[in-house]
Amino acid sequence: MRAVPHPSPNFGERRDGLRPSLIVLHYTGMESAAAALEKLCDPAAEVSAHYLVSEGGEVLQLVEEEQRAWHAGAGSWWGLGDINSRSIGIELANTAGHPFPEPQMRVLEGLMAEIMDRWAIPPEGVIAHSDMAPARKVDPGPRFDWRRLARAGLSVWPGADVGAEADPEGFEAAARAFGYPEVPEALILSAFRLRFRPWASGPRDAVDAALALDLALRFGIDRGAASA
């Protein structure tokens, strides 16, 4: 995957000798890739990412992968903080109001496959910004095709045979075992549905619980807690 270098001044050293174990996907929420690029390279903005992928599939590398880009902010995943030191950040040019175009998705898949191979990042290490910061963020949003990434082995998805037999009361524990942070259940539910059930509404239900339990048992760090 050929990425065009466009260095941002907004980066630093990864802390405590940490290496990337996650990929965090974002949307820019701006009117164009050019506008996003300007902000991601503005020292006053104090924000950046390792890569920016335009709607047409152009890939710009803003920060070297070995360095700590400033894309994730406060939040956690798998009970771990300082996600900036633990991750590669990819910004997808998108206004937040339209689907992600095929050229952009196709290039994203190639870029992610290379990053995951370089750093031995498993599919469960690919998360949304909204996953690790559900109190603050909703990107890449309900229009992003997570199932497509999972089919390509670039993310995870609940098993096809998951039913709706789980007790809704078990949703929060299962979602936390999968990786979600210590925030109120309503925020976890919102982030979970953005990724896995963007059409769903109302209180958490048996389907939410079944999907979360399946993901926790197959991919979570604390599998024992998921089955408790």
- pLDDT of residue 228 exceeding 50, the answer is no
Burial of 156 (0-12, 13-18, 19+ CB in 10 A): buried
CA distance 164 to 55: 37
Q: Give the mean pLDDT of the chain.
A: 95
Q: What is the pTM of this model?
A: 0.95
DSSP string over 127-158: EEHHHH-TTT--TT-TTS-HHHHHHTTSS---
Confirm if 63 and 11 have CB atoms less than 8 A apart.
Answer: yes
Structure token digits, residue 27: 């949307």
Task: State whether the Cα torsion 163-164-167-171 is positive or negative.
Answer: positive
Q: Each residue of 13-32: pLDDT tens digit?
A: 999 999 999 999 999 999 99
> Would you give the DSSP letter of residue 21?
-
Domains of the chain, each with CATH number or no CATH: 4-151 (3.40.80.10), 168-227 (no CATH)
- pLDDT of residue 77 exceeding 70, the answer is yes
Provide the β-strand partners of residue 127.
Answer: 24
Burial of 43 (0-12, 13-18, 19+ CB in 10 A): exposed
The confidence score (pLDDT) of residue 163 equals: 73
**Position 162, amino acid:** V
Q: Each residue of 28-64: pLDDT tens digit?
A: 999 999 999 999 999 999 999 999 999 999 999 999 9
